[in-house]
């Protein structure tokens, strides 16, 4: 079920709302935020800088556990402070398998007040190729959805000590490591 902030559903039904796209990259050296707007936005402890967002590919949904790919293309926008040098710093960051989130931000059409923000897609960055030509400098983040987590192995051992590291005081697995093996016979009883 899709939940929207109070009042947003009514404004959407009327077709009378302002929607801006936000993108947040959580890289090894820090968090970068971009907004498709002319003014910066402070939200959730991140300042989303304006301009630069050229395109976000189709955010298709589906069933199953297969990871889906999507791309985010950023372009240098020196008027907004998004220079090729800033894009190069993103490219030089520790970005592989780092989180990226695409949001829709809802603004009131009359007051311009922020009504709410909703995550549209979460994923991980795979590669970030760049292109510099006559039209300018662009950077494309190739991403995969969080369904990628379904294919990763988990190295946890289900034991009392492991559970205490994750949730101190939880006694659910307290007897798991002390219980021995029990041989269960099926069918006829075993002859002595």
- The dihedral region occupied by 98, where left means phi > 0, alpha psi between -120 and 50, and beta the remainder, is beta
Residue 46 in this model has a pLDDT that exceeds 90: yes
The predicted-structure confidence for 12-22, as pLDDT tens digits, reads as follows 888 889 999 99
**pLDDT over 70 at 177, yes or no:** no
Q: Is the pLDDT of residue 63 over 70?
A: no
**With contact defined as beta carbons under 8 Å apart, do 91 and 130 qualify?**
yes
Q: What is the mean pLDDT of the chain?
A: 81
Closest CA to 26 of 159, 109, 122, 164: 122
Q: How many CB atoms lie within 10 A of CB 90?
A: 20
In this prediction the pTM is 0.70
Is a pLDDT exceeding 60 seen at residue 134?
yes
Averaged pLDDT, 127-153: 80
State residue 1's pLDDT score: 47
Residue 9 vs residue 135, higher pLDDT: 9
In this predicted structure, the answer to whether residue 35 has a pLDDT above a threshold of 50 is: yes
Give the pLDDT score at 178: 63
Cα dihedral 120, 123, 127, 129, rounded to 10, equals 10
DSSP 8-state secondary structure symbol assigned to residue 63? S
For residues 49 and 34, the answer to whether their CB atoms sit within 8 Å is yes
Per DSSP, the residues of 105-153 read EEE-TTT--EEEEEEEEEEEEEE--EEEETTEEEEEEEEEEGGGGGGS-
Q: Given a cut of 50, is residue 43 above it in pLDDT? A: yes
The mean per-residue pLDDT over the stretch 118-127 comes to: 89
Look at 129 and 52; give whichever has higher pLDDT: 129
Residue 47 confidence (pLDDT): 92
Of the two residues 55 and 179, the one the predictor is more confident about is 55
How sure is the predictor about 183, in pLDDT bands with cuts at 50, 70 and 90? confident
Facing residues of 116 across strands? 106
Q: Which of 93, 86, 107 is nearest to 43 (CA)?
A: 107
């Amino acid at each position: 079920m899709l939940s929207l902030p109070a009042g947003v559903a009514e404004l959407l039904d009327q077709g009378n709302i302002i929607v801006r796209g936000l993108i947040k990259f959580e890289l090894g050296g820090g968090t970068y935020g971009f907004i498709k707007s002319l003014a910066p936005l402070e939200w959730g402890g991140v300042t989303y800088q304006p301009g630069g967002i050229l395109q976000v590919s189709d955010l298709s949904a589906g069933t199953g556990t297969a990871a889906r790919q999507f791309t985010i293309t950023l372009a240098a926008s020196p008027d907004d402070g998004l220079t090729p040098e800033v894009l190069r710093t993103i490219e030089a960051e520790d970005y592989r398998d780092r989180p990226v989130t695409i949001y829709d931000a809802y603004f009131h059409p009359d007051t311009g007040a922020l009504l709410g923000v909703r995550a549209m897609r979460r994923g991980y960055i795979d590669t970030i190729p760049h292109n510099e030509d006559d039209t300018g400098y662009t950077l494309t983040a190739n991403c995969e959805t969080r369904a990628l987590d379904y294919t990763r192995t988990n190295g946890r051992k289900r034991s009392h000590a492991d559970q205490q590291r994750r949730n101190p005081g939880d006694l659910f697995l307290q007897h798991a490591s002390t219980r021995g093996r029990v041989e269960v016979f099926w069918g006829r009883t075993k002859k002595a």
